[in-house]
Every structure is written in C-alpha cells, then in structure tokens.
Copies of this chain bind each other. A is one copy, B any other.
C-alpha cells in the first residue's frame, strides 16, 4: 500500500508537469522578448477602388514585410471585397505590384460575394488570385486564428 501511494503521487507529478511545460510554450503567453523569435500572420483589408488607397495598401504591405522587426517572419494575405475588387481587375494598373508581392509570399484573396453580387466575370480578374466565401467572414475568422489585421 505504501508503494502504491508512492506510485500514485509520482503519477500525479508526471500528469501535471507535462501540461505545465506545454503551457509555457503557448504563443499566447509569450513575453515581448520571446515574441521576437516567432512567426507573424497579417491580413490586409482593401475595400476601396481609390487609386491612392490601393497603391498605399500595396506599399504598406511591402513596408510591413521589410520592417526589420518582422523581416523573414511575416506572412501576409490581402483580401479584397466591395470596391476593393478593382485591385484584381485585369484592366487595372496593379498587375506588377501584385506579382511582386506574390513573389514575397503574399496570398491574394478575392471575396466571392462581391463578384456574385456585382455579376463580375472571374475571367476579368487575374488568374493568379484565390477566392474566399466572403471578405467579412475572412476578417473575422483570421482574427480568431490569431492573425493581426490591417486596414490602411
């Protein structure tokens, strides 16, 4: 019985040491210093067809990627909805800037609701983009997945 009690106590010790260690590695509990080692995800939001706003957003993404505090550690997705669909139109002026960002790993995502509501033909958009069910759903889900969001 004595040995049994000893084993039970040892088991109790093992059972809780493991979760305690796992918890220390949870990203949510990282301190500022530890945060410098980790990976970042950011969702950029564009819902305007204003040329200055579009160019500013694309430049902002590049600035974030090149920020010395984030360089090599940042993954970016750009989601366009509403008037923001303009950035992905073949007749627009953003093809090269988009390809440059895509070459740096940026995911380009168009809201499917927008093109359905506006009866936009996918053939009029660049073939190298991807689609999400709704831009607004994407914004909410990404935040719940821990992503930062930026709406310049």
Contacts and interface: CB of A to CB of B under 8 A. Distances in A.
A145 B35 contact: yes
Contacts of A27: 144
A28 B29 CA distance: 8
Query: How many identical subunits does the complex contain?
Result: 3
Interface residues of A, number: 58
Which applies to chain A's interface (DSSP): helix, strand, loop or mixed? helix
Contacts of A28: 26, 28-29
A42 B136 CA distance: 10
A94 interface: no
A56 to B, nearest CB: 6
A74 interface: yes
A150 B140 contact: yes
A102 interface: no
Contacts of A26: 28-29
Given A16-B20, A27-B144, A67-B134, 12 more contacts: A1-B2, A8-B10, A19-B20, A23-B23, A28-B28, A38-B144, A42-B140, A56-B82, A60-B136, A63-B136, A74-B140, A144-B148
Top 6 nearest A-B pairs by Cβ distance? A67-B137, A143-B148, A64-B136, A67-B134, A140-B148, A9-B9
